Chains A and B, each alone.
Chain A
């Protein structure tokens, strides 16, 4: 089936290539949800592909105001006006001639302009003019039939509430339904879109974040764990930290393509361990990406220099890349998608997120957070990327809690960093809680972080100090 490419970032991907041509689509949402911009973006993108659109306003927004608002968007081009994008006023016909003249007017406009796309904004306004539901239902049926015969793809825009979407007759006739809505989350005002129906194509269900910027609409597809069992080739290669004692504890290092959690309380050195893992990879020519939600790039560079590690050379030659996203700006819906894009583009072999606790804090729904991490984890494993997620353990002296959200279940390896009391002083110990598919040292070993890096020391003598 031929598809109309919307040209909106990631929307065609969600739609399995685009909107089936000659389909009748309803774009619903409350006022201010972005319906008009959504459709305008599609018609201007289509104009660039040589397609002609007829945009008919009713009584909700004047053409003058609409065009005035659109001028701020990058997709808008006034060269298309009157040629590829033609505006018409259906409201005048409705007011002066009544509802029974609408179809005739539409057909005349189609004969005159031969458009590929017809938009009616707002269709809900037409519904409100009809005397009864029966007459409106007949009109919708006739409209759908007439427009499809003229090989037109239709967008009907309306201020429908979510509860109306299953009740009103136009939704039964529609081939596609896009529902746009907003939601106030902890720190961001979010916009979401859901495709409730799309005949003739497979599409990605669920809510997808979208943003409206100067560039127009950008969609961030929902990240979801795969329905099917993850199939990927297990590689037996080991990826070391370059920390002698730790690599010994791990019997050579982390198994390639696995996910490791490094859990520890504040100051235990989670960031340093993770950074060293990437520097060791860079030394071996493997590209690494360090995604920091905690420390800016300069601070991480300083840490590495203090520990005697060569970081600047690797940053300069591109073997190591550090991206810092302020936890205040972190928007998981958007960034989770972008992160995977960067990992793919840069052909990263070793990847660190420091820390996933920041992810957790920025998501209002814990289940959503788990879904994001599972989905990311699956995609990273599928690409054989050896990944470390650091996670903050808020219990200073307890090794028992890895993460509150039971994220440790998705990890192949779990490394615990913790404080213990011994001889009236606080010491740090490292232990391997789990190393899937590989043997590992079960002991807890003391470690120190000095200007010479991370040194793994011996086992603790006074094990009774552990709680």
Chain B
């Protein structure tokens, strides 16, 4: 069970890093972190564990969340990360425009086939 969660979180961490790196290309690392800060705050209104996400100029780490999940395995991590990613892309689409965000989303889709489709369900991040 513990290993499964770890693997799952590792996968999310890689996905978030990819997303952060791709968006930092357009926003700059400073603004990319500000965006992470905003989305962390928004998602933490529902899942306080989101505040355990660590980020700095170097990138993103889910170590804190992973440790918390070990203590509280019932946390719906999939939903929490899905909400984070969708919200991040949604804001990004408004800041950068649809075209660039689609490019980022496409890249994520290539590396994590099917994840974005499952995460967003019927939702679209592009308004």
Task: Tell me whether A438 is interfacial, beta carbon within 8 Å.
Answer: no
Cβ of B94 and Cβ of A149 under 8 Å apart?
no
Count CB-based A-B contacts (< 8 Å): 22
Task: Tell me whether A77 is interfacial, beta carbon within 8 Å.
Answer: no
Q: Which of A22, A111, A142, A149 is close to B35, meaning CB atoms less than 8 Å apart?
A: A149
Cβ of B41 and Cβ of A149 under 8 Å apart?
no
Give the residues in chain B near A150, CB-CB below 8 Å.
Answer: 38
Cβ of B34 and Cβ of A146 under 8 Å apart?
yes
Q: Which of B31, B41, B94 is close to A151, meaning CB atoms less than 8 Å apart?
A: B94
- A:147-170 near B, CB below 8 Å: 148-151
Give the residues in chain A near B35, CB-CB below 8 Å.
Answer: 149
Give the residues in chain A near B94, CB-CB below 8 Å.
Answer: 22, 151
Give the residues in chain B near A146, CB-CB below 8 Å.
Answer: 34
Cβ of A151 and Cβ of B30 under 8 Å apart?
no
A51 → chain B, closest Cβ, in Å? 15
| Interface residues as binary, A239-254 with B (CB distance below 8 Å gives 1, 0 otherwise) | 0000000000000000
Task: Tell me whether B5 is interfacial, beta carbon within 8 Å.
Answer: no
* Complex CA distance for A151 and B94, rounded to whole angstroms: 8
* Complex CA distance for A331 and B84, rounded to whole angstroms: 58
Task: Tell me whether B75 is interfacial, beta carbon within 8 Å.
Answer: no
Task: Tell me whether A230 is interfacial, beta carbon within 8 Å.
Answer: no
Cβ of A145 and Cβ of B91 under 8 Å apart?
no
Task: Tell me whether B95 is interfacial, beta carbon within 8 Å.
Answer: yes
Cβ of A111 and Cβ of B95 under 8 Å apart?
no
* Complex CA distance for A142 and B28, rounded to whole angstroms: 12
How many interface residues does A have (CB within 8 Å)? 9
Give the residues in chain B near A151, CB-CB below 8 Å.
Answer: 91, 94-95
How many interface residues does B have (CB within 8 Å)? 11
Closest chain B residue, CB of each to CB of A21: B94
Cβ of B91 and Cβ of A148 under 8 Å apart?
no
* Complex CA distance for A146 and B28, rounded to whole angstroms: 12
Give the residues in chain A near B95, CB-CB below 8 Å.
Answer: 22, 148-149, 151
- A:368-392 near B, CB below 8 Å: none
Give the residues in chain A near B34, CB-CB below 8 Å.
Answer: 145-146, 149
Give the residues in chain B near A111, CB-CB below 8 Å.
Answer: 41
Closest chain B residue, CB of each to CB of A147: B34
Give the residues in chain A near B31, CB-CB below 8 Å.
Answer: 145, 148-149
Give the residues in chain A near B28, CB-CB below 8 Å.
Answer: 145
Give the residues in chain A near B37, CB-CB below 8 Å.
Answer: 149
Closest chain A residue, CB of each to CB of B42: A111
Closest chain B residue, CB of each to CB of A145: B31
Cβ of A145 and Cβ of B41 under 8 Å apart?
no
Residue of B28, B30, B31, B34 ringed by the most chain A CB atoms within 10 A = B34
* Complex CA distance for A233 and B66, rounded to whole angstroms: 74
B84 → chain A, closest Cβ, in Å? 15
A33 → chain B, closest Cβ, in Å? 33
B93 → chain A, closest Cβ, in Å? 11
* Complex CA distance for A142 and B34, rounded to whole angstroms: 10
* Complex CA distance for A430 and B104, rounded to whole angstroms: 76
| Interface residues as binary, A88-124 with B (CB distance below 8 Å gives 1, 0 otherwise) | 0000000000000000000000010000000000000
A19 → chain B, closest Cβ, in Å? 16
* Complex CA distance for A148 and B94, rounded to whole angstroms: 11
Give the residues in chain A near B38, CB-CB below 8 Å.
Answer: 149-150
B63 → chain A, closest Cβ, in Å? 24
* Complex CA distance for A148 and B95, rounded to whole angstroms: 8
Give the residues in chain B near A22, CB-CB below 8 Å.
Answer: 94-95
* Complex CA distance for A151 and B30, rounded to whole angstroms: 16
* Complex CA distance for A22 and B94, rounded to whole angstroms: 10
The 7 sampled A-B contact pairs (Cβ below 8 Å) are A145-B28, A145-B31, A148-B95, A149-B37, A149-B38, A149-B91, A151-B95
A residues apposed to B, CB below 8 Å: 22, 111, 142, 145-146, 148-151
Interface contacts beyond A148-B31, A151-B94: sample of 9 additional A-B pairs, CB < 8 Å, sorted by A: A22-B94, A22-B95, A142-B30, A145-B28, A145-B30, A145-B34, A148-B95, A149-B31, A151-B95
**Ordered nearest first, which 9 A-B pairs have the shortest CB separation?**
A149-B34, A145-B31, A149-B35, A146-B34, A149-B38, A145-B34, A145-B30, A149-B31, A151-B94
